[in-house]
Structure 1
Amino acid sequence: LYISSTSSSSGAASITLTFENGTDPDTAQVQTQNKLSLVESQLPDAVQQQGVTVTKSSSGILMIAALTSQNPSYSSTDLADFISSDLEDTIRRVVGVGNLNIFGSGYAMRIWLDPNKLAQFQLTPSDVTAAISAQNVQVSVGQLGNLPAVPGTQMNFTVTSQSQLQTPDQFRAITLKTDTGGSVVTIGDVARVEIGAESYSSFSRYNGQTAAGFGVNLATGANAINTAEGVRAALTTLEGALPSDVSVVYPYDTTPFVELSIEKVIHTLLEAVVLVFVVMFVFLQNFRATLIPTIAVPVVLLGTFGVLAIAGYSINTLTMFAMVLAIGLLADDAIVVVENVERVMTEEGLSPKEATEKSMKEITGALVGIALVLSAVFLPMAFFGGSVGIIYQQFSITIVTAMLLSVLVAIVLTPALCATILKPAHDKPKNWFFRKFNSGFARMTGAYEGSVGGMIRRPLIFFAVFLAIGGRRIMPPT
């Protein structure tokens, strides 16, 4: 879709490629790497030596981990160096980690040039850079005892002329210039050399204590909760390699919010199932009849989870929210079947099996029609484009799948349960609760029918009243 780039004064640069929704991240990474290899030879030598990396990750930070210590002898640079040398490589290998942003910098050899001395010796910073690149190398100059060897030679040795420099004194001794008189100009003559922080652009503190941290970017398509758990497990394992007075803290973590959201949705889902059971029991007043829709709902939910897994969707806040909305709709089909079977048994005195057969002949078409109508409402959302479409696609597929499976269960499983679980209707006396409920419900139904009948008999009056109420809500205040 678009390309953005950032750079810093320290010489680091990054280019972010944003692809269309639905693009395979693995394929995109391979194609980007292939295109980059075509132009990598045109980059400066220093860039080619450092290497160009291609990672796939999201822009947002999943979590931040930090090292902190109450020991005042540790500086932010010390702690950042622990991260760079002991933690960074392992954390990058955790499944789901796309990228790391280190807040702080480890140790590096700092060379502070004196412009006046450079001018005095007629040198430039590029001369210093070239001298360091030429003399701070590890070169293999040959071997002792290599073939063809003198007869009797039994050992073979590799000879290196020098290794990479490690101490400030070694860097100070790098030769920059010589003249015919034998005098030598070294880096120590034109610069101050010391071991210091690689960058002084940032400084970290945690609760007033010196600290250094890193932010974890989630890889594209990775599971946030599993990735965060993997990072914590890796840090717990690596914590033994750190000094005893250095501890790992997590100043920022987005996964508790995700876990809490899913936990609340699960609670809501369970509450919805319980409420459906209670309402069905109160109105059907038959435990066997109530048990059938209660069994059908989990079966439909499990089937919906299976379809989501096949489609490549995870159980997230959005899909769980769709499940909560679909709970009431899932129970409707089973309730319709159970109520009609009971009605046929009561009115015609048939056995449960015969009543189920007759009932399904009456209502199968209605069940299929209800499913098609509800699917027609939610299915168009699956074809939305852009980022909104990615969000609503999961929501739509979850509800439509639940609706279709609900009808399938109502046609296949629910009739079988009705024929085996239900018993022939007998006029058993109701307990006091059901008698009170039925009496109150009958009075409420009669009052509702009377009020609706009165409105129907006076259509003009009530139409004018509704029009006046609606007009007052629509007209803005003057």
Structure 2
Amino acid sequence: MSLSSVFIRRPVATTLLTFWLAAAGAVAFFQLPVSPLPEVDFPTISVQASLPGGSPQDVATTVASPLERHLGQIADVSEMTSSSSVGSARITLQFGLNRDINGAARDVQAAINAARADLPTSLRANPTYRKVNPADAPILILTLTSDTLTRGALYDAASTVLAQKLSQVEGIGEAVVGGGSLPAVRVELIPQALYKYGIGLEDVRAAIASANAHSPKGAIDVGDRRYQIYASDQAEKAAQYRSLTIAYRNGAPVRLSDVGEVVDSVENLRNSGLANGKPSVLVILFRQPNANIIGVVDRVKALLPTLRASVSPAIDIEPAVDRSTTIRASLHDVERTLVIAILLVIAVVFLFLRDWRATLVPIVAVSVSLIATFAAMWLMGYSLNNLSLMALTVATGFVVDDCIVVLENITRHIEDGMEPRDAALKGAQEVGFTVLSMSLSLVAVFIPILLMGGIVGRLFREFAMTTSLAIMISLAVSLATTPMMCAVLLRKETGERHGRLYRGSERVFEWMLDGYRSSLSLALRHPRAIMLIFASVLGLNVYLYDIIPKGFFPQQDTGRIVGAIQADQSISFQLMQQKLAQFVAIVRQDPAVDTTVGFTGGGQTNSGNVFMSLKPMAERKISADQVIARLRRELSAVPGATLFLQAVQDIRVGGRAGNAQYQYTLQGSTLEELYEWAPKITAALQGQPNLADVNSDQQNKGLQSNLVVDRDTATRLGISMSQINNTLYDAFGQRQVSTIFVARNQYHVIMEVAPRFWQNPETLKNVYISTSGGSVGGSLATNAVSGTVAAGKSASASSASANAARNLATNSIGQTGRGTASSGSAVSTSSETMVPLSTLARFEQASTPLSVNHQGLFVASTISFNLPPDVSLSAAVETIEATMNRIGVPATIRGSFQGTARAFQASLSNQPYLILAALITIYLVLGVLYESYVHPLTILSTLPSAGVGALLALMAFNTEFSIMALIGVILLIGIVKKNAIMMIDFALDAQRTRGLSAFDAIHEACLLRFRPIMMTTMAAMLGALPLAIGLGEGSELRQPLGIAIVGGLILSQVLTLYTTPVIYLYADRFRAWCERLKNTGKTPASPGAAS
């Protein structure tokens, strides 16, 4: 008695169990999370540290290096990179895939604490870390615009309200506010006016610092009441600072408005943001590694009404670039592809069986198997993503195969005159082992994938498990529900006349079977010719695999493009702002672009970022890469800057953000050697046609004005180096000289010379340093000016001394009554005590690095590149390696691929081993099932033709051999062997039970199983056909898989119908020869050819 007989005899119980499976899956479907791909993000943590005013080299040596030495000792750090720019350093740590990010974060914090003793004492705050990969594209960008409010007010609302709330949303790794800065009171001084009154920049700074004395004042008790003491000790607006007295001249006060302009403005003027050409502040949201994009975006959007109510109604807050929209569209298209695949598979079944009752059986079997898989996915913690839905689409052809084998065998018995119930019992018993063998051997294909490590193993683990679960559920349904439904639904032949369609299709099938019968006999009579074809196909596999272009992961069209602006290293902010506006204007004119946002400013004035959202595929008609190619020609017309564009990808490997998708990192023993060779290598690569957008992150040609001080003259004049440094910082550093405390935030008073002066290099010659004595007070005034030198040509020493005494006395009176937090200000006595910088120093032009980068603990320069149209990643890798060998790079300069390119190299070396492991696993499973060493090889002989078909199809459609195509080939291993299993299983049974010869057994098996073989192959091929056609969003991800399956099935179907029976005969003769050798104990004659 077979297992199926229990379910055939209890149709009600079987029906209820089937319904329960479908209901559980339907409920689970709506509980599954949605994501673009399985969770494959490397745990990544970004550490940031600030050293205001520090040069990139100083930051790299004093901040980045000590941190790297401690962070590099953390366990399972797979990659550590850093970038040091003016005043800040960012270190990115990427860990192994299996590392818990929360445990890694604790180790990072411990390393930061341990490194604190090695960091500069001038570091304002401890380094901080965030669980975010800075190389990732943002998941959502919010724009803040207003027709009435200033950019400072917008930035204030964004940083104080929005960023705080959004950072608390589950899954948000970092909320970056760009395109502006906080409101501030700006004091823009006029050097000539300062000279006129004999007031130094340090004097002004000290006076402003003394204007605010925010400190406790105590309380008083009056009777039974207590009063807290407050004072109007803060100036909050520019109008209050304009009347501030900074010195007295000839008994008259010199106010701040007399030596410059005081305005309500922003802290940093060198920031700019645009949203569709309109001034805007941007809130850029990055997710934590492995956070679900759609879930995070949905939570942010649910919070938007609250955020809008929390800020001024004059502020418009709108999502500009949203990654979730294209993810949803892609998943909807995959679901539609799944439905189409199911309909095509059912059409195949109906075409062969031509009976609606018989067709109803696979409809139920396929539907229940796929729907029940959702319940298994929910139990495994999986999500609905492109790969899991693709797995179900491909599995449509698999799950129907088991049903077809059972159904077709039962139908054949009914056509021979048996009652449906008896036919179901006998037919299910006959093919039960065949179905089991097919399913287990197919699941065995995925075992190597499940055991793989690295990103490829993690990426396709969910794919493999989803397919395996669907197959195993299908196996249960085929052995339980399918025979039960056949016994209940199918009817015995009544001899009634069939319709025209049935008769016509029957004639076609008879013609096909007669043609196969004749060609099969011919093939069996000429086995050596068939074996020669088989050997040729085997060799062709190796040749085609060697020459086919290879890649890592298909280039996705996510509908989102990111751009990085790289301008001349000496560019000013004013010109950079114009370049940003020009680029945004050009991009907005492209008909495929929906929204465009961009910003520039911050640590590097020669860089900026642009983010684009494209229109839906149905409206733009062309891919994101084609949009980039079209824009590249238009953007090249902007001189002095380049906008590098790349399509956002769902898989990003590596933690270093680059201007292009792929990276090649150079490391050297010294910074000087790296600066020498990196430009040479970059220039050599820029001339290669296999590479596009080649650029380097090496920024060592920024302009620098070196101040060479005559120390003897400075000492004679009583001027210290700290006075010179402070004066320059006061003039050009946008220096924060005072803090304004309010209820919701803290704002600053910023001092520098007026913009028209810091835009002119000649201003350096007009900077004067006060030589007068006095104490520098205020909470932010730290460097006291000491020493007084009375030197002048137009006034005598005695008159200067008298004026100084009078002014000092007046200044002292003016300072009386100010809070104890301030001790007054240093003042000068007259213009004669003002010394121009040109008196004691000269200026020299020089170059300076704008950033210093490290890979590990070594200085590094990363070359980024994109791929031109129709160029594979393998071709680009070979081009770079050949160029490095050709130009004679010294051994001290080491080059290595990073990020996605490095992952590609690793996957390329592992591909043959993965295929070999799949073959060995299937051989072991089949050997156990068939208790044979030989016939598993017969079954595996079907695979070379499938590989050739897949490779030829990929090359015909100009599709590179990527990881998706590799998975298609592995799936083919499982699909095409089913044909051989159906033949060999029947042949072996005929030999063992009926005593037929090997020739007669395999000949009969091929003819009997011709119809189910054609049905299962057509079902699998049509199930993959919607993937191969590649329609809708995200089709570029599905297409290589579908092309490989369809191409492999077409060729293997033609060849294996003939090679399998021939090889079976050779294998049987070899088995018999081995048995004779074992029985006789001596070497007999070699086995002859099959006849």
Q: Normalized against structure 1, the TM-score is what?
A: 0.79
1:288 Cα offset (Å): 2.7
Map residues 406-425 of structure 1 onto 2, 5 A cutoff: 406-425=474-493
Q: Tell me what 2:277 maps to.
A: 208
Could you say what secondary structure the match of 2:124 adopts? helix
**156, 165, 174: which one aligns with 1:90:** 165
Cα separation, 2, equivalents of 1:409 and 1:461: 42
CA contact (8 A) 2:365 2:477 kept: yes
Q: 1:432 to 1:164 in 2, by over 3 A?
A: farther
CA distance 1:175–1:7, shift in 2 (3 Å):
farther
User: In the alignment, does 2:521 pair up with 1:446?
Assistant: no
Inter-partner Cα distance in structure 2 for 1:130 and 1:429 = 110
Aligned to 1:300: 369
- 1:56-455 map, 5 Å: 56-58=131-133, 59-69=136-146, 71=147, 74-106=149-181, 107-110=183-186, 132=209, 138-144=214-220, 153=224, 155-159=225-229, 166-168=236-238, 194-240=263-309, 246-347=315-416, 349-352=418-421, 354-455=422-523
1:54 to 129, 153, 157: 129
Structure 1 contact 110–195 (Cα < 8 Å) conserved: yes
CA–CA distance in 1 between the matches of 2:247 and 2:481? 91
Q: Distance in 1 between matches of 2:392 and 2:479?
A: 21
1:468 Cα deviation after fit: 8.8
CA distance in 2, matches of 1:84, 1:31: 29
Letter of the 2:307 counterpart: L
Is the 8 Å Cα contact of residues 265 and 317 (structure 1) preserved in structure 2?
A: yes
Q: Which residue of 1 aligns with 2:96?
A: 20
Question: What stretches of structure 2 of length at least 5 have no aligned partner?
Answer: 1-77, 547-1091
Q: Is the 8 A contact 1:108 1:198 kept in 2?
A: yes
| Deviation per residue, 1:199-236 (Å, 9 max, x gap) | 23331223332222122112222221222233333334
| 2:420 and 2:488 in contact (8 A); partners too | no
Q: CA deviation at 1:191?
A: 7.9
Amino acid at match of 1:108: A
In 2, Cα distance between equivalents of 1:389 and 1:472: 28
Q: Tell me: CA distance 1:447–1:424, structure 2 relative to 1, closer, same or farther (3 Å).
A: closer
Equivalent AA in structure 2 for residue 368 of structure 1: L
- 3-state SS of paired residue (2:397): helix
Cα pair 2:169 2:300 within 8 Å, conserved: yes
The alpha-carbon distance between structure 1 residues 433 and 346, as it changes in their structure 2 partners (threshold 3 A), is closer
The amino acid that maps onto 1:66 is T
Deviations 1:429-449 (A, max 9, x none): 322211111112211222233
Query: C-alpha separation between the residues in 2 aligned to 1:219 and 1:428?
Result: 68
Q: For residues 399 and 497 of structure 2, what CA distance do their matches in structure 1 show? A: 31
CA distance in 1 between partners of 2:306 and 2:496 (Å): 67
Tell me the CA shift for residue 399 of structure 1.
1.6
Residues 186 and 379 of structure 1, relative CA distance in 2, 3 Å threshold: farther
Structure (1/2) with the larger helix percentage: 1
Structure 1 unaligned runs (5+)?
A: none
Secondary structure at the residue paired with 1:140? coil
C-alpha separation between the residues in 2 aligned to 1:239 and 1:247?
8
Post-superposition Cα deviations, 1:70-105, rounded to whole Å, max 9, x if no partner, equal x3x555444333322442222223332221222212
Query: In structure 1, the residue corresponding to 2:271 is in which secondary structure?
Result: coil
**Is the partner of 1:264 in helix, strand or coil?**
helix
Contact 1:139–1:160 (Cα < 8 Å) also in 2: no
Contact 1:218 1:224 in 2 (8 A): yes
Secondary structure of residue in 1 paired with 2:270: coil
Supply the RMSD in Å over aligned alpha carbons. 4.2
Tell me, what secondary structure is at the counterpart of 1:363?
helix
Q: Cα distance, 1:270 vs. partner?
A: 0.3
Q: CA deviation at 1:255?
A: 2.1
Secondary structure at the residue paired with 1:221? coil
* TM-score after normalising by structure 2: 0.38
Change (3 A) 1:14 1:110: farther
Measured after TM superposition, the shift of residue 175 of structure 1 is 10
Offset at residue 267 of structure 1 (A): 0.7
Matched AA of 2:99: T
- Classify the secondary structure of the residue corresponding to 1:54: strand
Partner of 1:3: 80
Amino acid corresponding to residue 105 of structure 2 in structure 1: Q
Secondary structure of the residue aligned to 1:199 is: coil
Alignment: residue pair count: 460
Q: State the Cα distance separating 1:168 from its structure 2 match.
A: 3.8
Distance 1:414 1:163 in 2: 87
Q: 1:392 to 1:467 in 2, by over 3 A?
A: closer
Q: Deviations over 1:289-309 (max 9, x none)?
A: 222222222322233323333
Question: What is the one-letter code of the residue matched to 1:100?
Answer: A
Would the alpha carbon gap of residues 203 and 356 (structure 1) be closer, same or farther in structure 2, given more than 3 Å must change? same
Q: Would the aligned equivalents of 1:104 and 1:199 in 2 still touch at CA under 8 Å? A: no
* Structure-2 change in CA distance of 1:124 and 1:267 (3 Å): same
CA contact 1:342–1:425 (8 Å) conserved in 2: no
Alpha-carbon contact 1:87-1:238 (below 8 Å) kept: yes
Provide the rounded CA distance (Å) in 2 between the counterparts of 1:291 and 1:172.
Answer: 88
Contact 2:179/2:274 (8 A) holds in 1: no
AA aligned opposite 1:17: L
Contact in 2 for aligned 1:6/1:14 (Cα 8 Å): yes
Contact preservation (8 Å) 1:100, 1:216: yes
In 2, are the aligned partners of 1:113 and 1:191 still within 8 Å (CA)? yes
Letter in 1 for 2:510: A
- Over 3 Å counting, the alpha-carbon distance change for 1:364 and 1:454 in structure 2 is closer
- C-alpha distance in 1, partners of 2:239/2:385? 58
Q: Secondary structure at the match of 2:216?
A: strand
8 Å Cα contact 1:379-1:397 kept in structure 2: no
* Paired residue type of 2:383: S
CA 1:298–1:472 in structure 2 vs 1: closer, same or farther (change >3 Å)? closer
Q: Compute the displacement of 1:266 (Å).
A: 0.6
Greater Cα shift, 447-456 or 189-198: 189-198
Q: Specify whether residues 262 and 470 from structure 1 end up closer, same or farther in structure 2 by C-alpha distance, changes over 3 A only.
A: same
Give the CA deviation at 1:265: 0.7
SS of match in other structure, 1:94: coil
